[in-house]
Amino acid sequence: MEGFNSKVMDVIGNVTEKAVGNEGFAVVGQRGGVESVYVLAQCWRTMGEKGCRDCLEVAGKNLRGCLPGKQGRAMLAGCYMRYSTEKFFDVQEDELNGNGEPHFHIVFLSHGSLIFILVSCIFSWTMGGFTVLAVMVAGMVLSVLSLFGFTKAYQRLQKKTAMTSAPVGTSKSQHKNRLNFKYEMLEKATDFFNASRKLGQGGAGSVFKGTLPDGSNIAVKRLFFNTRQWADNFFTEVNLISGIQHKNLVRLLGCSIEGPESLLVYEYVPNKSLDKIIFGCSEQVLSWQQRFDIICGIAEGLVYLHDSCSEKIIHRDIKSSNILLDEDLTPKIADFGLAGCVDPDKSHHSTGIAGTLGYMAPEYLVRGQLTDKADVYAFGVLVLEIVCGRKNHVFMEGSSSILNSVYQNYRANTNTKSVDAILKSEYPEREASNVLQIGLLCTQASLALRPSMSEVVQMLTDKECSIPSPK
């Protein structure tokens, strides 16, 4: 066991050095001995050598916890590393040299290689083995290869420069902040992510309060892992979302993707999240009118995302902890870390599963089919939580879930039994009953039966609008 552990750590150290010197990517295989070991390491293309090394060293240390397991993975905001006793990368066995390290086929030829090949051709010609034509052909081939290598290198450099220096530039936002915040500045703004500045923590990362040099407050989300896989896609989506402004959406100011971890920068909302007030130990009790206004505000925010943006945006993680409240208890939908942008002409969008159990629509959870109706389902669950005053995964005696208990009361025409008991009788029964019915409509198993968010807003605000019966 000790021999195997030592071998794995040696190969991890080896692949780290190679990746840092090879534009952030390397694979190393070491066969024989106690056990064969294969390791892959990769950094974001926007990271410099120091950032790549620092990140891979942390990944290597984290992989110690996987030993003596036969495989392990470490995914950080800026890099990814994996080891296994089975070869998992696409390098043929005959490409591994005697030291167990793969040969890389690189298109860029060094000056020494070019001179060596050219001299070899000339030498062969002088010995009578080639004609002048052979030398000319060899020279042409080398020229083409050199030009191709230079072109590819220049394109890569141009793309990287554009990635790291592009301004916010969104005509909608009209603000002067830059998307690419400096990592060092955000470190200082949060007092190096001091625990005293921590505002909360979710599935994707921890949020810290920060203060910029001009005195303005921000919220900095420190991501646990790379939810975008590639920096260019991440940057593009942040660029799109940063231009969105609505009174019921937390404004995304930008991000940092050049440091050892990825950070999202949001506007600072001073009040608590909805879950802390409804389910937490807060002494504050929301009245019916406050709950109703919060439900309407969330619905309007989702209508904006689904129907009023240049591209349909599906949030994918609507839940009580992602609803922030300002000083006036106006709800603001937060955490666009899982947001997906969908072409308006596309009826659905298949993707990897991401979200929170209990709020995820059946078709998305089972088949990975993502539409705006997935947000409608999560909204419906949230509505029932707000009205009933209990979490969807907390079971009560005699009922399987909040959805089931509310539906049973609906069928028995006893909707008011589902309303939070802390409100006593201080609420309009008909309005509360209608809101519960809308929540059930939104959580129907068939996405075709769920209303759109614009229809939901109409049902909530138009007293004369008829509300269909949930199936």
- Residue ending a domain, choose from 95, 127, 149: 95
Q: 471 in a domain, yes or no?
A: no
- Residue ending a domain, choose from 219, 238, 267: 267
- pLDDT of amino acid 140: 58
Same domain? 257 vs 293: no
Same domain? 339 vs 448: yes
- pLDDT of amino acid 241: 72
Same domain? 336 vs 452: yes
Query: What CATH number is attached to the domain comprising 68?
Result: 3.30.430.20
Interacting residues of 378 by C-beta distance below 8 A, sequence separation 6+: 315, 317, 318, 319, 355, 359, 360, 361
- pLDDT of amino acid 115: 46
Q: 152 in a domain, yes or no?
A: yes
- pLDDT of amino acid 349: 47
Q: Which pTM was predicted?
A: 0.60
Same domain? 232 vs 323: no
Q: 159 in a domain, yes or no?
A: yes
Same domain? 204 vs 347: no
Structure tokens at 233: 């896609």
Sign of torsion, CA 100 105 108 112? positive
- Residue ending a domain, choose from 95, 125, 146: 95
Domain hosting residue 125, numbered range:
111-165
Q: 470 in a domain, yes or no?
A: no
Same domain? 221 vs 141: no
Same domain? 59 vs 130: no
Same domain? 326 vs 382: yes
- pLDDT of amino acid 195: 93
Cβ atoms of residues 25 and 43 within 8 Å = yes
- pLDDT of amino acid 148: 55
Tens-digit pLDDT profile for the chain (471 aa)? 888 898 999 999 999 999 998 888 889 888 877 788 999 999 987 788 888 999 999 999 999 999 999 999 998 878 899 999 988 877 654 444 434 444 333 333 334 444 444 444 444 444 544 444 554 555 555 555 555 555 555 455 444 444 433 333 333 333 334 577 899 999 999 999 999 999 887 666 789 999 999 999 999 988 765 544 445 556 656 766 777 889 999 988 888 877 778 888 889 998 888 998 998 777 789 999 999 999 999 999 999 999 987 778 888 889 998 999 998 999 999 876 555 665 544 444 444 566 788 899 999 888 888 899 999 999 999 999 999 998 887 655 555 689 999 999 999 999 989 999 999 888 999 999 999 999 999 999 999 999 999 999 999 999 889 999 998
Query: What CATH number is attached to the domain comprising 416?
Result: 1.10.510.10
Domain count, the chain: 4
Same domain? 338 vs 438: yes
Q: 178 in a domain, yes or no?
A: no
Q: 245 in a domain, yes or no?
A: yes
Active site residue 317: yes
Same domain? 364 vs 325: yes
Q: 202 in a domain, yes or no?
A: yes
Same domain? 395 vs 280: yes
Query: What CATH number is attached to the domain comprising 242?
Result: 3.30.200.20
Interacting residues of 363 by C-beta distance below 8 A, sequence separation 6+: 369, 371, 373, 374, 447
Q: 105 in a domain, yes or no?
A: no
* Catalytic option among 54, 191, 214, 317: 317
Same domain? 454 vs 321: yes
